């Protein structure tokens, strides 16, 4: 399946600093398998987990020094743990001023993903097998269906998320035009904990809540989003009429470029049914 | 059989602790051989160790302020003890700011290496923490099991790359595979390779340099006629290699390995006053 232009690779990309890619991928590492979707606009890596949560990392073409896609879109499934081990082959912490350069090539359906990584004159070549892309979850979440939306500065949420009471099965999110405006609650062994963010808080960049909604989400599913929160400067929190949650993280990389990571999560059905 | 030693200098003590730490990461149990001038930590290639063997040599004069030893007999003035290096490492952990550390071989109820750590205290009398480390005395008839291994008739000898880089790469590769192939040639090139159903990864190191070995009987110089580009390789247990690299707390002054194709890899790590040799056999 050679591409029309005669170029052997349907996807070829170069990145001076592999960390621009590896740190984002780590933020969506919910489980081993990820679907990579490349177009001329850039790369999207999606991870589904437990049929009710999805994490997406968007790395637009401008982040790369070179990003060439020969077809309208290129899709493949790949083992994300293996991909991360390869991207960080020279280690995760780096001396300032040193970085790993990356070249990524993919010939198309059935071929492995080739990575060429270089740091300090040492070259590592990786060949990672790809698989048939799976059907991805579709949360049918779009901006027209959004009921409540807030944008917070991430530093306000970081501590809260890092210290979530993991003995609680759920994280309850309340969003309302009235008090308590935005509340995070847990119900753990030691008792309930509530954390309120007033609408006029310095951390609150935007507040558009139309309806009081209280939704619960399985805490074990949301906890990995802490990685994305740690990298980000801002986060938008949106819910729709069914209580589906969208978390969008704005991440500025070492070079000041902007990337996004997005999480979608279903409300915890067991709990809601029990309440009925 | 008597053994008494003392370290007073803090730098020597910390250096000695680091050596013991490294040894404890490489061997659960090993032999400590004491002679008048040297200490040796020895692991011989039993199946229980996965076939790896170790030979670590220190000059006692570089570490100890006092060192007195009387072997089993006048003409065999050496002592061989079996011990768990982790016990010694733990005892020395309490000595990080000690005034002095004394070591003595005792046999109250059973043979022990008694490590007495003298700690500074505000009052005039010092605090002493004593650790009794059980040891096994190895009888003379078994000493032959623990002779210094000879340098194998290797195909390629090459200097190792920067250990920090090698350590990072091997640590990542350990997540992906149980075994690793080390290959190297006489043009200073070394490759580390893993290959599984899911992934294959190869790291290429260049310009490493090949150590010159002075040949006593001219047999090593026969490789002058050999192809400089051809690789000698061995597939070894990746955990063993990772343990060796992870245990290096200080950068050695010289680090090299000798590869006998498909048989064994012999690592030599030299510091100013410690030399460590580690043999990892090739997997079947």
What pLDDT digit, counting tens, does each position of B28-58 carry?
Answer: 999 999 999 999 999 987 777 778 999 999 9
Question: Which pLDDT band, with edges at 50, 70 and 90, does B101 fall under?
Answer: very high
Q: What is the pLDDT of residue B272?
A: 84
* Residue to test with chain B: of A116, A121, A130, A131, most B Cβ within 10 A: A121
Domains and CATH numbers, chain B: 2-145 (3.70.10.10), 156-215+228-281 (3.70.10.10)
The pLDDT mean for chain B works out to 91
What is the C-alpha separation between A205 and A164, in angstroms, rounded? Answer: 23
Structure tokens at A63: 């982040």
CB count, 10 Å around CB of B194?
A: 24
**Burial label, B284 (beta-carbon count in 10 A; 0-12, 13-18, 19+):** exposed
Question: Which pLDDT band, with edges at 50, 70 and 90, does A273 fall under?
Answer: very low
List CB contacts (< 8 A) between A88 and chain B: 172
ipTM: 0.88
Please check the confidence at residue B216 and state whether its pLDDT lies above 90.
Answer: no
Q: What is the pLDDT of residue B224?
A: 53
Determine what percent of chain B is predicted with pLDDT higher than 90.
76
Contact A89/B169, CB-based, under 8 Å?
Answer: yes
The pLDDT mean for chain A works out to 91
CB count, 10 Å around CB of B33?
A: 20
Q: What is the pLDDT of residue B67?
A: 95
What is the C-alpha separation between A115 and A82, in angstroms, rounded? Answer: 12
Four-residue CA torsion sign, B147, B152, B158, B162:
negative
The residue extents of the domains of chain A are 11-131, 146-265
The string of pLDDT tens digits covering residues A54-108 is 999 999 999 999 999 999 999 999 999 999 999 999 987 766 778 899 999 999 9
Q: What is the pLDDT of residue A274?
A: 41
List CB contacts (< 8 A) between A95 and chain B: none
pTM beyond 0.95, yes or no: no
The string of pLDDT tens digits covering residues A157-193 is 998 888 889 999 999 999 999 989 999 999 999 899 9
As a 3-state breakdown, chain A gives helix, strand, coil percent values, each rounded to 5, of 20, 45, 35
Mean pLDDT of A216-233: 94
List CB contacts (< 8 A) between B175 and chain A: 81, 85
CB A87 within 8 A of CB A43: no
Mean pLDDT of B87-99: 90
CB nearest to A120's CB, from B165, B175, B200? B165
Please check the confidence at residue A276 and state whether its pLDDT lies above 80.
Answer: no
Question: Which pLDDT band, with edges at 50, 70 and 90, does B221 fall under?
Answer: very low
Q: What is the pLDDT of residue A97?
A: 73
Same fold, A11-131 and A146-265: yes
Contact B199/A90, CB-based, under 8 Å?
Answer: no
Q: What is the pLDDT of residue B31?
A: 96
Q: What is the pLDDT of residue B215?
A: 55
Listed in sequence order, the residues at least 6 apart from B161 whose beta carbon sits closer than 8 Å to its beta carbon are A122, B190, B205, B208
Q: What is the pLDDT of residue B222?
A: 47
Does the domain at residues A11-131 carry the CATH identifier 2.70.170.10?
Answer: no
Domain A146-265 CATH (choose: 3.40.1010.10, 3.40.50.800, 3.40.50.300, 3.70.10.10): 3.70.10.10
What is the C-alpha separation between B168 and B121, in angstroms, rounded? Answer: 42
Which is higher by pLDDT, B223 or B213? B213
Q: What is the pLDDT of residue A133?
A: 92
The string of pLDDT tens digits covering residues B264-280 is 999 999 988 899 999 99
CB contacts under 8 A, B 132-161 vs A, are 161
Please check the confidence at residue B134 and state whether its pLDDT lies above 90.
Answer: yes
Residue with tokens 């637009």: A60
- Chain A CB within 8 Å of residue B170 CB: no
CB B112 within 8 A of CB B32: no
Total residues belonging to chain A = 276
């Amino acid at each position: 399946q050679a591409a029309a232009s005669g170029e052997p690779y349907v996807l070829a990309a170069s990145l001076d600093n592999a960390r621009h890619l590896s740190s984002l991928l780590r933020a969506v590492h919910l489980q081993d398998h990820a679907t990579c979707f490349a177009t001329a606009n850039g790369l999207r890596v999606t991870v589904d987990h437990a049929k009710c949560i999805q994490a997406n990392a968007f790395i637009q073409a401008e982040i790369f020094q070179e990003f060439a896609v020969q077809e309208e879109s290129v899709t493949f499934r790949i083992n994300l743990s293996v991909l991360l081990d390869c991207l960080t082959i020279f280690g995760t912490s780096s001396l300032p001023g040193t970085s790993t350069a990356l070249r990524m090539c993919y010939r198309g359906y059935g071929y492995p993903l080739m990575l060429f990584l270089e740091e300090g004159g040492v070259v590592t070549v990786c060949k990672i097998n790809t698989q048939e892309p799976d059907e991805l979850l579709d949360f049918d979440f779009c901006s027209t269906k959004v009921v409540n939306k807030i944008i917070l500065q991430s530093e306000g949420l970081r501590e809260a998320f890092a210290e979530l009471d993991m003995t609680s099965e759920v994280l309850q999110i309340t969003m309302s035009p009235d008090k308590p405006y935005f509340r995070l609650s847990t119900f753990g062994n030691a008792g309930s904990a509530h954390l309120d963010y007033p609408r006029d808080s310095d951390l609150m960049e935007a507040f558009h809540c139309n309806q009081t909604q209280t939704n619960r989400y399985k805490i074990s599913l949301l906890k990995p989003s802490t990685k994305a929160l740690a990298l980000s400067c801002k986060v938008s929190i949106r819910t729709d009429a069914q209580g589906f949650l969208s978390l969008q993280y704005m991440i500025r990389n070492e070079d000041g470029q902007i990337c996004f990571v997005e999480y979608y999560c279903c409300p915890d059905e067991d709990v809601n049914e029990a309440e009925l | 059989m008597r053994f008494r030693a003392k370290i007073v200098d803090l730098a020597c003590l910390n250096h000695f602790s680091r050596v013991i730490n490294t040894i404890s990461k490489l061997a659960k149990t090993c032999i400590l051989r004491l002679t008048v001038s040297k200490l040796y930590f020895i692991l011989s290639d039993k199946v229980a160790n996965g076939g790896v063997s170790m030979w670590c040599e220190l000059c006692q004069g570089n570490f100890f302020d006092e060192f007195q030893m009387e072997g089993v007999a006048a003409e065999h003035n050496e002592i061989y003890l079996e011990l768990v290096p982790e016990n010694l490492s733990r005892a020395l952990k309490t000595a990080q700011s000690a005034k002095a550390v004394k070591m003595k071989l005792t046999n109250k109820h059973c043979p022990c290496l008694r490590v007495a750590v003298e700690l500074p205290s505000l009052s005039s009398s010092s605090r002493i923490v004593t650790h009794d480390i059980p040891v096994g005395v190895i009888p003379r008839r078994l000493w032959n099991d623990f002779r210094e291994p000879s340098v194998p008739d290797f195909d390629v000898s090459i200097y190792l790359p920067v250990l920090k880089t090698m350590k990072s790469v091997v640590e990542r590769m350990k997540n992906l595979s149980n075994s690793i192939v080390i290959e190297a040639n006489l043009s200073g090139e070394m490759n580390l390779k893993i290959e599984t159903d899911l992934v294959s990864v190869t790291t290429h190191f260049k310009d490493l340099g090949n150590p010159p070995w002075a040949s006593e009987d001219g047999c090593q110089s026969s490789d002058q006629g050999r192809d400089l580009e051809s690789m000698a390789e061995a597939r070894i247990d990746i955990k063993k290699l990772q343990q060796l690299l992870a245990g290096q707390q200080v950068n050695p002054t010289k680090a090299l390995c000798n590869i006998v194709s498909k048989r064994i890899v012999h690592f030599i790590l030299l510091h100013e006053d410690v030399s460590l040799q580690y043999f990892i056999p090739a997997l079947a």
